[in-house]
A and B are shown apart, each in its own frame.
Chain A
Amino acid sequence: MLDRVVHLLPPELKAVLERLPESSMEHLEEIRIREGRPLELGIRGQSRFAASDGTLRAGSDGAYKPTADICRKLLEKITNHSLYAMEEELKRGFITVAGGHRIGLAGRTILDGGNVRGIRDIGGFNIRIAREVVGSARNLLPKLLDKNRKTIHSTLILAPPQQGKTTIVRDIARSISYGHWGMFENAAGWSGRKVAIVDERSEIAACVRGIPTFDVGPRTDIMDACPKAEGMMMLLRSMSPEVVIVDEIGRPEDAEAIQEASHAGISVIATAHAYDLHDARGRPVLRQLLDDGTFTYVVELKRTAEGFMHRVVAADMKDKLPAAAREPTAAAKGEPERVAQTYSGFQRGDVP
């Protein structure tokens, strides 16, 4: 995983990270760089600090501390030496670079009439390495199919950050677009559907100059770096999609656009930050969408050592959660049954 982002790092930092053990390098998920403070790495969902000789430890004592100079070089590299071209990104607090990797930034904000205009004195970076897991939604997809319309039901995917929402949603987009409807036997003759993705954070398709770097399927159109609500309406008018996919909804205008789309007969696949359905109901925008019956299904995701686990819940069940166990979102080779039992109702989402 390290080799995907190594070109972004200043030589000093690169040297430290290249001394890491092979297995950690392979499972690196996050690199958290804070000026003058220990270098933190996220490996398999766990936090570790790296020393300058590449050893990993749980405590921060003796860890390598990036200097102000290294942080400036890093900032220059990720902004391509052009901070002025990144004003929108700085307003949002993260930069997405080629390959879909998201780099979160923290520092002192610049205010303009009470609104955040940007960040200066950036002292914290979080490099999240994007992963493409083909087949991660293979088991999930058949449960979401609309047999009458031969397409997918409107679905809301819920999970806290870092649980694989984007990875799953990317695989759903690809499968629908190709017409790979999974194990459901009646779906054999169904053709692929026109998919439109509003990729506000450039994470789903990781477009570089408008061209996706991840495989999102042959029938897929992407509105890159576009605000979700506007993007959905634009795609609705211009690209005649059959399935619209959006990542991380949460603002009132998003809800409006989603309702607009779903009443136009288009299936909407959306993701949102929430632990489960009950949690999601605490967010006004999501509660409204759920109450209006915009979504047919809600999927709760959880990432475990065995892979992505999911639980499909009918959205109109209000507050009552079914006792169904979570299952993997894709078939585990060899031992799917055991996995399904271990995680009380969660099912895995990928092939490990």
Chain B
Amino acid sequence: MAKLIIKDLYVSVKGTSILRGLNFEMDEGETVALLGPNGHGKSTLIATIMGDPKYSVDGGSITFDGQDVLAMSPDKRSQLGLFLGMQYPAEIPGLNSADFYKAAMNSHREKPMALFQFYRELEKAYKEVGIPFEMNSRNLNEGFSGGEKKRNEILQMRLLKPRIAMLDEIDSGLDVDAINVVSDVINEEHARGAGILVISHYARLLDLVKPTRAAIIINGRIVVSGGPEIIKRVDTEGYEWIKTELGIEVAKEINPAMNQVSIGVCATREAVKNEK
């Protein structure tokens, strides 16, 4: 079984250091919850694993299945079996969703798929994530609602069959029914043998995907890791106990800029308010 191994990782964004000597390991086939207060490095970690060019790696290593992940471009990381379901998937004007999925699936295999087989798999995946098949002819994520974008990420995970699927707040913007649907698909991916690394602020998704392990990132490092009881504790007590029990001062938010994204008029207004 392949292992994802992160050693002494230092990452910064626009000169602000976020990850400060982070160590983490997980197996293909394992389900792990990544916890921690906002702005402490959860999203930074998984975006760095995927190769997001916004983040600079200042030190350390990431390997998967013995291969040097940091030396690879994002497409090679995907082909190696890593997948990131993003919190804010990009909207790509003019790019037909189905054309893109076909190109993506073909990039994971030696010979291009037969069109018939592609459409059969596509139709099945649309059904599983609960969005109308007709959406395959729409431009990728363009004009999709928040929930549709999230389901669309899960759809791509299903199509690409990753070895490690990292899911960044994939449940935000989803209603209860949608969370049930999405967690079913995640659980099927896990049953197929994929490792799942999940970030979520809501107990509901974690109740459904049942991680067997949890790790908490504080101040850019993993400070606590253990069994699922940690999830329950964070859900009821927050992160205060880390300070009292472990003597770790929890910085207010080491990376506030990362949470100021504009996803629409309301978010832009929020961002403007925060700047004042």
Are A and B associated in one complex? Answer: no
Write the residues of chain A forming the contact surface with B, with a CB cutoff of 8 angstroms. Answer: none
